[in-house]
Structure 1
Amino acid sequence: MDFTTEEMLGRRCLLLSLLLLVTWESGSGQLHYSVPEEAKHGTFVGRIAQDLGLELAELVPRLFRVASKGRGDLLEVNLQNGILFVNSRIDREALCGRSAECSIHLEVIVDRPLQVFHVEVEVRDINDHPPLFRVKEQTMLIYESRLPDSLFPLEGASDADAGLNSILTYKLSSSEYFGLEVKTNSDGNKQIGLLLRKSLDREDAPEHNLLLMATDGGKPELTGSVQLLVTVLDVNDNAPSFQQSEYEVRILENSDNGTTVIRLNASDRDEGTNAAISYSFNSLVPSLVLDQFSIDANTGEIVIRGNLDFEQANFYKIRVDATDKGHPPMAGHCTVLVKVLDENDNTPQIALTSLSLPVLEDAALGTVIALISVSDLDSGANGQVTCFLTPHVPFKLVSTFKNYYSLVLDSALDRETKADYKVVVTARDGGSPSLWASASVSVEVADVNDNAPAFAQPEYTVFVKENNPPGAHIFTVSAVDADAQENALVSYSLVERRVGERALSSYVSVHAESGKVYALQPLDHEELELLQFQVSARDAGVPALGSNVTLQVFVLDVNDNIPALLGPWTPGSGGVVNELVSRSLGAGQVVTKVRAVDADSGYNAWLSYELHSSTGGSRSLFRVGLYTGEISTTRAFDEVDASRQHLLVLVRDHGEPALTATATILVSLVENSQTPKASSRASGTVGHEVSLVNVNVYLIIAICAISSLLVLTLMIYTALQCSAPPPETGCGPVKSMLVCSSAVGSWSYSQQRRQRVCSGEGPSKTDLMAFSPGLPPCPIVGGHQDLNEDHNSRVKQLVPLTAQSSVIFLFLPLVIVIPRNTRVYYLFIYLFIYLFTIVAL
């Protein structure tokens, strides 16, 4: 069965496609297709989407695209069916010249996620170029003296095709004088020459017209021809000759001008002028050779006259003629093959594409940032390029194919630590010395809301004076967010809670943007000493992050409460109290006591008492304790003293400025027999006070009895101890440790918030204030007291001191500190302690 040429080509394409598909499936890692050159628009190349494992429906959403570096739009992909087809005319010779292999490299890129595939499309050669000779007609001068079998070199034809299509065969038209000789040179090229079969006779045939035909190996065959005009010359019958017909020279590119390539030496068997030789380039030498080389006509030395660049041309074929000066002159011929050796004179080239910037700081490891391709025009080791990154960057290079790399994320990013990176890609070739080039990529790290607003400290203490104006600014909170833009935009709010019976927002508010905290109403230290709450700071990120800070607002006391009188000075009593006092009272006797409290605290609640004014000469009769408020007599009453005394006691706190209250006391001096009656006629409030005084009298009597018992016991015990014969060591005097007090008294102030004490019968106080009574001055003990003081004197000193101390230290706590309703219980406790002491002694 006969097949047409197109059917044969179709079968070849099908078999080659099947072979490429099997090769791909075997794990080559790259798609290979083939297409003949000059294929028509729309010619099927391959099902690229199916071969890459991509669904047709995802080609458009994933931005399927094909890139061909420097190849234009020769090939295209139909996104509807995923078929790769020919888009425009493909000229293999324009793409690859005479290279044996010719292919188009495609980069297939899809996004979401980013993937890169590499496709090689081989362009198959077709026999579309016939053999061509440089000239249509070639003239040759041959002396008739040339011997048979002389060879005259001819310029061969060239075929732009490759492979079998470029293999040429030559055929010379029939001639009895000339034949064609074809030789294959060391470089694989064919050298043809015109072979003289028998001697020429110019007189018989001065000219010979020959036709040289060249036929390529394509199907169908194409031919080219050149007309050979041979002119037979007379006289000089020996031509110059070279030692060899072909010379091969190797020289480095970029050699200096004037460098000698080779010195040729031809010889001529003739003598005289017929043996004088001049050298020249053959007339058929191309202009490129003439631009790069020159030859000395006398010496035959070929030197460099232009810059040799391996990347432009790495091989030169120079035909040299050696012509004698005979008449007619004769010429010899040789070929000089100049091979240019590569030097490492080209730096690598770096191309960056498909940048995915900026990069989120929470991007996954392995995320592709950019695609990088490198190239080097040099060859061999000089053109082998390796790439690397600057150290200490969270990226790495991953080789995808030959000189193609992907810049991928290698470690986690943190924008707050470093917001951008300058990644320098360096490409270095394998030459010696090596050359390198670098390209920089600025990789910006995009922010992710991964940092919550942070306060400088977890808790703040704020001091605010009470009675502040409404809306007063008391503090400013500030939080800093390490993120950027809206992720760092902080807003503030209160963490709502209940403060007693009211909401926190009724006391304070916070400005959402500035963080300023305002007191919405005046704060009262007596109502609220400590206001503790939290302020929340949240950013504007999605999702939003937040943190809290605690504010402890201490409300500082201001002296805004006047002292309040207790006991009889209750509201509605008129501020006046009547007291009945017996005229028989002596000096230093307590008549009554003014009790007052202050709702403030600290110094503002420390009260002092002062007898402000009096009538009837009472200033000399009475005095008031500065800190106790006890009104006592200064002397015994006389008959001339008025029976009715008017006392005005000023109660003053220690605030700034000080606040005062006054208590008015009307003291009636009566005889002893009238005291109970007067007491019975007093008002209800006064009667209650008198009943309390009676109770205190009974308590004092009991305390005195117990104290007397203790004193008597101590005296007996001391007498027994000291009357006994003293031991050898002796019973010497012992210094007693006494507790002394000044006339003003001592006081202390405690900041313990929950310790409370009462003064009189008023409400309990927050701050503790204790005052020592007026104790007698401390006795001065001399440094040389007699150690042999008699027993009686020691007892006399010990008994009063013991009795006085017992009465004071038992009586004072019961009167000042212990409430009236519990004094009886404390009395029994002290009684038990005394009895236990007696038993122990």
Structure 2
Amino acid sequence: MLYSGGNIPEGQHLLLSLLLLTIWAAGSGQLHYSVPEEAKHGTFVGRIAQDLELQLTELVPRLFQLDSKSHGDLLEVNLQNGILFVNSRIDREELCGRSAECSIHLEVIVDRPLQVFHVEVEVKDINDNPPVFPATQKNLFIAESRPLDSRFPLEGASDADVGANALLTYRLSPNEYFSLDVPPSHEQVKPLGLVLRKPLDREEAPELYLLLTATDGGKPELTGTVQLFITVLDANDNAPVFDRTLYTVRLPENVPIGTLVINTNASDFDEGVNGDIAYSFSSDVSPDIKSKFHIDTVSGAITVIGCIDFEESKTYKIQVEAIDKGSLPLAGHCTVLVEVVDTNDNVPQLTVKTIWLPVKEDAQLGTVIALISVTDLDAGVNGQVTCSLMPHVPFKLVSTFKNYYSLVLDSALDRETVSDYKVVVTARDGGSPSLWATTSVSVEVADVNDNAPAFAQPEYTVFVKENNPPGCHIFTVSAHDADAQENALVSYSLVERRVGERALSSFVSVHAESGKVYALQPLDHEELELLQFQVSARDSGDPSLCSNVTLQVFVLDENDNAPALLGTGTGDMSLVVTQLVPWSVGAGHVVAKVRAVDSDSGYNAWLSYELQTSVGGARSPFRVGLYTGEISTTRALDETDSPRQRLLVLVKDHGEPALTATATVLVSLVESGQTPKTASRSLAGTASQEATLVDVNVYLIIAICTVSSLLVLTLLLYISFRCSAVPTQGECGSGKPMLVCSSAVGSWSYSNQRRQRVCSGEVPPKTDLMAFSPGLPPCPGSVEGVGEPPVVLDSPGKPRQPNPDWRYSASLRAGMHPEAGEVSPPVGAGVNSNSWTFKYGPGNPKQSGPGELPDKFIIPGSPAIISIRQEPTNSQIDKSDFITFGKKEETKKKKKKKKGNKTQEKKEKGNSTTDNSDQ
């Protein structure tokens, strides 16, 4: 604390300042300085930055603020050196009136982190106000008959200063009649007075002039004077006398007008007119008292005529006179001291000082949001205020200093739940009844990027027909971000990967803003049946967040591939085959087999065979199986048949529109002893091939033994491979077991292994088969109908869109397996577990129509082919195409061979010849 003024030496001044500063700082926890009033501009007050332990370089970056409440700019801080100095004139009397203590309360606020310091600057009084009397001249009328020691009250002087500067001493000019009566300090209510020491003699001295001087205790001393003009009166000997010289009254504030304060009473021993008394306020009473109180001139009753406010004045001192009506009127005097009692009539006042908004939703607990100050003009309990917040808000009030509170964060914020709060602060005093006031603080929550874009589904299934135009729109992805502004601005991109040998971006693209997915090139079902990829949605926050969604694009088949005939190993749309047939064959003899394959799927790959009638209209002795492609005799051949037959076989798929291929079979009828020759040529001019056949029975036995050995070896290798294989999790995850269902067309299945290969970007071989079987139960929830695709169930009761790669078995993929044969282990209920079926030949199983039971079908998840034993209804099926292994079947086969005749041997030779030529 610093004190300037007086004549204290500089060294003692510094020691005194340091001592007082240490005592006050230890006692109150805040900084205290002092400055004399009327100090000049720039007067040093204190090194406030050093005392607050703040670095000078931090004042500007930390937003140093000095708040002096309602005292304007009396004090200021130099931000360059951290010194608090006087900025404008300080008048203690104007600032604090006659209050014994006068201080300027300052608040120092710095940010980063937020700190609030409280500084109190005491304004020291200097002797700048002289004593002042109510008037420069006082007229007194004193009867000459007044006895000695009579006392005549005088209005003392007032000094606006305080302390020793306001300690007044009075001095009366020398005279022989009066002396000055100065009451002790503890009897301040007793007025100053003149005491008669010598009897007055109007004839000797009718008028007296005295000078009353008041001197204060300041250094230097200041004085004030009043002229006392005394007129000596004759006659009326007795002055009115009050029953009490001091009346004390406690009066509540805000009493209604007309309330009685007190009844004063005076008496006069004279009689008649000299004894009649009139009451009045003394001429020295201030206008403020006259505006609030009234005295009845007859009764002496004092009543209220104005507003009595405790906050305006706590006491009123009223001088009352009682004057008789004698020719020489005499007066009596008394004092009425009115003490105003406080009532709870002031509502607390709330002020929001500083607000730090908006508040980020990830702000730490304890973050200061606002400073709130509260004041109450009442005193005592009526002025004690407590503050509270409305319930269920993530904030709390922390008391910082006296009537100051900080609004701080108490729990975590979430802008997506509540984006702004209207916090209501209630201040309530301790009166009875208590008064309260509220103020609201709007707290806006600023968004942070804490929500990643979210898709409605983790996976979407899209169906696109093949041969689509380049750049066509196939799907639109959309993600929602719960954040706001740029944190919710979503952009889309592909998650790049390889699809086979090519990049994913060569197949599809996604619009960054709209999320529309486009196919950049025509898709080919035969090359790519399933394109699985991910689209990423990323917001524009910092740091940005993203999420992915999986798109499964199934390429639906179109009938864009005509059937391809299988002859010499390559598929052609036209084929010419030359076949030698003995004259001795009977009805049902298989002459040749036309094999064809269609690269399409479903009905587009379901082939049927038709035999075109000859131009002449003659009845041909041959027919072709509708779905097997086997050309067989309808009757025994005779001499009327032409030795050279030209058979035109039309192969047609079931697409819309249907596509066809033709095969020409040239049949030459020869004697049984002639060496059979086989020739085939294509329309493109392929060369004929001839092979000399050896003994058919010998070769047939050798072939059967060889194939049987290969079958056993294949089964052993397959079983060892399946036992040692460990399933691994592919990119698309383990496939779910697929349900085999039936409809009016038949049964269908889908190879899950194939799907896994497609997901990994590989172009799958055409190895999956679809078998139709009317005997299987229909799918749950499916509607039977011809031509309807099957429905795959991922879980009970939930249908899923069919995989476009559903296939018919039998002849659809026969040409794709030129191996020696296919093995069908006994899997599933109803199949003889002791039998194994082996299909030899070029791998073209007989094709079943919609109403026929296929000879085999695939169980999904297993590479095995189940054989369904079915008795043929006609001679379309060549039983020599199947060899059954097992104890019972083997015995039956041996017995059947022993009972054979030559005709049967000739038929078997013809069959073997035909099969061998097909191979």
C-alpha distance in 2, partners of 1:602/1:574?
A: 23
**Counterpart residue number, 1:539:** 539
Contact 2:650–2:661 under 8 Å retained in 1: yes
Contact 2:344–2:378 under 8 Å retained in 1: yes
Residue 769 (structure 1) aligned with residue 779 (structure 2) = no
C-alpha distance in 2, partners of 1:191/1:219?
A: 26
State the AA in 1 paired with 2:771: M
Residues 752 and 475 of structure 1: is their aligned pair in 2 closer, same or farther, counting only changes over 3 Å? same
Query: What aligned pairs does 1:782-821 form with structure 2 within 5 A after superposition?
Result: 813=839
**Counterpart residue number, 2:605:** 605
Between 1:409-418 and 1:308-317, the stretch displaced more is 409-418
Residues 17 and 252 of structure 1: is their aligned pair in 2 closer, same or farther, counting only changes over 3 Å? same
Contact 1:125–1:162 under 8 Å retained in 2: yes
In the TM superposition, what is the alpha-carbon distance from 1:506 to its structure 2 partner? 0.8
Q: Match of 1:26, SS?
A: helix
In the TM superposition, what is the alpha-carbon distance from 1:212 to its structure 2 partner? 1.3
Query: What aligned pairs does 1:96-495 form with structure 2 within 5 A after superposition?
Result: 96-184=96-184, 188=188, 191-495=191-495
C-alpha distance in 2, partners of 1:163/1:39?
A: 19
Q: Match of 2:7, SS?
A: helix
C-alpha distance in 1, partners of 2:573/2:644?
A: 20
**Counterpart residue number, 1:795:** none
Residues 767 and 316 of structure 1: is their aligned pair in 2 closer, same or farther, counting only changes over 3 Å? same
**Counterpart residue number, 2:748:** 749
In the TM superposition, what is the alpha-carbon distance from 1:226 to its structure 2 partner? 0.7
In the TM superposition, what is the alpha-carbon distance from 1:411 to its structure 2 partner? 2.4
Number of equivalences? 753
* Structure 1 residues 662-720: Cα deviation after superposition (integer angstroms, max 9, x where no partner): 2222223333344x3555999976756978987896599999xxxxxxxxxxxxxxxxx
Q: Match of 2:183, SS?
A: strand
Contact 2:142–2:230 under 8 Å retained in 1: yes
Residues 220 and 702 of structure 1: is their aligned pair in 2 closer, same or farther, counting only changes over 3 Å? closer
Residues 11 and 680 of structure 1: is their aligned pair in 2 closer, same or farther, counting only changes over 3 Å? closer
C-alpha distance in 1, partners of 2:770/2:178?
A: 143
Q: Match of 1:614, SS?
A: coil
Contact 2:189–2:335 under 8 Å retained in 1: no
Contact 2:564–2:573 under 8 Å retained in 1: no
Q: Match of 1:631, SS?
A: strand
Residues 385 and 620 of structure 1: is their aligned pair in 2 closer, same or farther, counting only changes over 3 Å? same
* Structure 1 residues 114-149: Cα deviation after superposition (integer angstroms, max 9, x where no partner): 222111111111111111101000111222332222
Contact 2:747–2:774 under 8 Å retained in 1: no
In the TM superposition, what is the alpha-carbon distance from 1:95 to its structure 2 partner? 0.8
State the AA in 1 paired with 2:305: R
* Structure 1 residues 314-359: Cα deviation after superposition (integer angstroms, max 9, x where no partner): 2111111122223233222111111111121111222222322222
C-alpha distance in 2, partners of 1:399/1:421?
A: 21
State the AA in 1 paired with 2:749: S
Identity %: 67
In the TM superposition, what is the alpha-carbon distance from 1:258 to its structure 2 partner? 0.9
In the TM superposition, what is the alpha-carbon distance from 1:190 to its structure 2 partner? 5.7
Residues 701 and 454 of structure 1: is their aligned pair in 2 closer, same or farther, counting only changes over 3 Å? closer
Residues 835 and 623 of structure 1: is their aligned pair in 2 closer, same or farther, counting only changes over 3 Å? closer
Between 1:20-29 and 1:34-43, the stretch displaced more is 20-29
**TM norm structure 2:** 0.76
Query: What aligned pairs does 1:367-766 form with structure 2 within 5 A after superposition?
Result: 367-567=367-567, 570=570, 575-615=575-615, 617=617, 619=619, 621-674=621-674, 676-677=675-676, 687=690, 698=701, 747-754=746-753, 765-766=767-768
In the TM superposition, what is the alpha-carbon distance from 1:610 to its structure 2 partner? 2.1
In the TM superposition, what is the alpha-carbon distance from 1:40 to its structure 2 partner? 2.3
Q: Match of 1:19, SS?
A: helix
C-alpha distance in 2, partners of 1:565/1:188?
A: 136
C-alpha distance in 2, partners of 1:614/1:23?
A: 132
C-alpha distance in 2, partners of 1:767/1:77?
A: 92
In the TM superposition, what is the alpha-carbon distance from 1:614 to its structure 2 partner? 2.8
C-alpha distance in 2, partners of 1:185/1:250?
A: 23
Residues 637 and 617 of structure 1: is their aligned pair in 2 closer, same or farther, counting only changes over 3 Å? farther
Contact 2:565–2:574 under 8 Å retained in 1: no
Q: Match of 2:258, SS?
A: coil
Contact 1:533–1:552 under 8 Å retained in 2: yes
C-alpha distance in 2, partners of 1:572/1:47?
A: 105
Q: Match of 1:7, SS?
A: coil
State the AA in 1 paired with 2:215: T
In the TM superposition, what is the alpha-carbon distance from 1:362 to its structure 2 partner? 2.4
* Structure 1 residues 709-764: Cα deviation after superposition (integer angstroms, max 9, x where no partner): xxxxxxxxxxxxxxxxxxxxxxxxxxxxxxxxxxxx984322225489xxxxxx95
In the TM superposition, what is the alpha-carbon distance from 1:28 to its structure 2 partner? 3.4
In the TM superposition, what is the alpha-carbon distance from 1:766 to its structure 2 partner? 2.7
Q: Which runs of 5+ in 2 are unaligned?
A: 707-743, 756-764, 776-830, 847-864, 866-878, 895-919
In the TM superposition, what is the alpha-carbon distance from 1:313 to its structure 2 partner? 1.9
State the AA in 2 paired with 1:751: Y
**Counterpart residue number, 2:87:** 87
Residues 178 and 9 of structure 1: is their aligned pair in 2 closer, same or farther, counting only changes over 3 Å? farther
Q: Match of 2:355, SS?
A: coil
**Counterpart residue number, 2:796:** none
Residues 658 and 691 of structure 1: is their aligned pair in 2 closer, same or farther, counting only changes over 3 Å? farther
Residues 679 and 264 of structure 1: is their aligned pair in 2 closer, same or farther, counting only changes over 3 Å? closer
Between 1:460-469 and 1:612-621, the stretch displaced more is 612-621
Contact 1:422–1:442 under 8 Å retained in 2: yes
In the TM superposition, what is the alpha-carbon distance from 1:391 to its structure 2 partner? 2.2
State the AA in 2 paired with 1:547: S
State the AA in 2 paired with 1:526: E
Q: Match of 2:23, SS?
A: helix
Q: Which runs of 5+ in 1 are unaligned?
A: 704-744, 757-762, 774-804
Residues 571 and 604 of structure 1: is their aligned pair in 2 closer, same or farther, counting only changes over 3 Å? closer
C-alpha distance in 1, partners of 2:608/2:306?
A: 118
Contact 1:616–1:641 under 8 Å retained in 2: no
C-alpha distance in 1, partners of 2:310/2:184?
A: 25
**TM norm structure 1:** 0.83
Contact 2:496–2:505 under 8 Å retained in 1: yes
**Counterpart residue number, 2:736:** none
In the TM superposition, what is the alpha-carbon distance from 1:824 to its structure 2 partner? 12
